[in-house]
Amino acid sequence: MKTFHLILIMTIGGFSLWSCASKQVDKRPRFQHVVVIGFDGLSPDGLQNSSTPNFDRLIKEGSHTFHARAVLPTSSSSNWSSMIMGAGPEQHGITSNAWERNNLILPPVTQDEDFLFPTIFNLIDRQYPEAEIGAIYHWGGFGRLFEKKAVDYDINPKNEDETAKTAGKYILEKQPLFTFIHFDHVDHTGHEYGHGTEDYYQSVEKADTLLGEVMESISQAGILDKTLVIISSDHGGLGYGHGGETLDEIEIPFIVCGKGIKKGYEIISPVYQYDNAATVAYALGVELPGACIGKPVVTAFEGQNWNGRFPVTRRWQKPKILPGEAFNRRAGGLFNEKAKVEIQNPNEKGELRYTTDGSAPNYTSNLYSAPFEVDSNTIIKSAVFDGESMKSIVAEAYFRIKTKSISPAVAYSLFYLEGLSKIPDTKSLSPDAKGKCFEITSEEVQHEIKENTVVVFSTTLNVLKEDTYMFYTRSDDGSKLWIGDQLVVDNDGDHGVQEKSGYIKLDKGLHPLKVEWFNGSGGAWLDVYYQTRDIPKQIIPTSILTTRGNG
């Protein structure tokens, strides 16, 4: 067993501010042990809507924020690597889950091992070569993100229960200087049942139980008073997936607890994914490379205060526009002749302001007082205001109105295939199912979608005015949009809900429109938007789709 005599070199004194880019690094270890516990897919919503006595206890005994931010894209590889490297994808080059050392596109700005930005494992090992360092991770993919030579205990258990058991035994036997523990079951549940569902909350409660087991092992090992515990996540989620830019996906919890950490403190300084490694380094007196952008969350430590002019904004809950959003479906919907619009304020304060033309609301916009009806395509945007100040993010709803007599103008063909990771060429294939629908959305065909399904939507766009048109596909998994023979939007690939756009100049008249979309596994979603200088961004309405000109 390696031995490590931190007690001999620990000194008593105040904490000094430190930056990973600074040449004057305070190398005094503040803790004899650090344990980082990461829960894949754990969102602030999950903690706030589940029964989590162990998380709650650490929040009460330590410092926390529910407004820490993941890096983009909100995928696992990009964020776990940022967490342990103290750098973002722009620095370490891990920009998607497809990253491999033999398949990299963006090389790291600095490296110690081939194609790999230095991780906190490596840096601790270099400064304290006799220290015990362990990594126990439920998701096997985590193992490709760090230097194997820097880790004394490297194991990938088969499930979350084995992960907790293995980590606990390791801590009891070795009392390591640094332990990284990764749990994957919350993310699995989010993909299978959806974030914000009862199943998802139950998986968070299971995470709380596992957290309690790890904390009990730290206590039984006799090192609780000497240990800094950091709890965080790689990303949140929306619907059945993640990877996008919404607050639901990008905001993550960050909890830090230990002797010398402020008790019951809500961190008001900004916290980013890459600050995790910097905080570990600060706790152990380890110097990070100058290429890092992470900073230690020193405001969580006793004696340190936030001196920044702009603390993290505390937003009120956004309005609820009914019919409401659900999973990836945005509020509003497709209605015959007219629709009723209702807006609710989930806060006990503030007033609702809204617009009906797609513009952002301000303090002079319509004041909501009662439900109202719309009889044409309408984009509702609403926010909560306190006087002239907007206190919430903007809620959006897309109300599409069609006449009862209109016939569906979109034809679709479905193909049930195998092993899809991108859109295949279906021209020589016979469809397994065909039909017609009103809009180009996954909801129109959801009853026919299985794993490894390709859907091809075909219709004709009736352009009333010559202009440059911007088109968007928002899909899980990949999608492509064609106008005639021109590929306008390429959003292909195996990914969560992701939006991409492209533009094309169109003359007045009829133009063939085709959208190809596939679902590999897990969540499935598609909706399609358009926009011009005069037309606000909206789901392509039935009023400009026609069967005329279809071959």
What pLDDT, in 10s, does the model give residues 272-331? 999 999 999 999 999 999 999 999 999 999 999 988 788 888 889 999 999 999 888 999
CATH number of the domain within which 451 lies? 2.60.120.1560
196 and 64 housed in the same domain: yes
Residue 14 lies in a domain: no
Q: Are residues 414 and 396 in the same domain?
A: no
Asked whether residue 396 falls in the same domain as residue 414, the answer is: no
Q: Do residues 394 and 501 share a domain?
A: no
Does 225 lie in the same domain as 350?
A: no
The pLDDT assigned to 11 comes to: 36
pLDDT of residue 272: 98
Residue 550's pLDDT is 56
Query: Is the same domain home to 96 and 239?
Result: yes
What's the number of domains the chain is made of?
3
Work out the average pLDDT over 407-415. 96
Q: Is residue 156 located within the same domain as residue 183?
A: yes
d(CA 129, CA 150): 9
70 in any annotated domain = yes
Considering only residues 130 and 313, tell me which one the structure prediction assigns the higher pLDDT: 130
From 402, 434, 453, the end of a domain falls on: 402
Asked if residue 482 belongs to a domain, the reply is: yes
Same domain, 463 and 523: yes
525-531: strand order across its sheet: 498-506, 467-476, 525-531, 538-539
In a domain, 315, yes or no: no
Full DSSP string of 302-333 = TT-----SSPPP-PBPPPEEESPPBTTBPEEE
Pair 201, 100 in one domain: yes
Q: Write the pLDDT tens digit of every residue in 345-394.
A: 999 999 999 999 999 999 999 999 999 999 999 999 999 999 999 999 99
Q: What is the DSSP string of 344-359?
A: E--SSS-EEEEESBSP
**Distance between CA 371 and CA 456 in Å, rounded?**
38
Tell me the CATH number at 290.
Answer: 3.40.720.10
Q: Over 70: is that where the pLDDT of 63 sits? A: yes
pTM across the whole model: 0.84
Same domain, 290 and 329: no
Scan for tokens 């002079």, then name that residue. 364
Structural domain range at position 338: 320-402
Structure tokens at 483: 């106008």
Q: Is 12 a member of any domain?
A: no
Whether residues 167 and 62 fall in one domain: yes
Answer whether residue 7 is part of any domain.
no
Domain-located, residue 216: yes
Is 23 contained in some domain?
Answer: no
Same domain, 126 and 271: yes
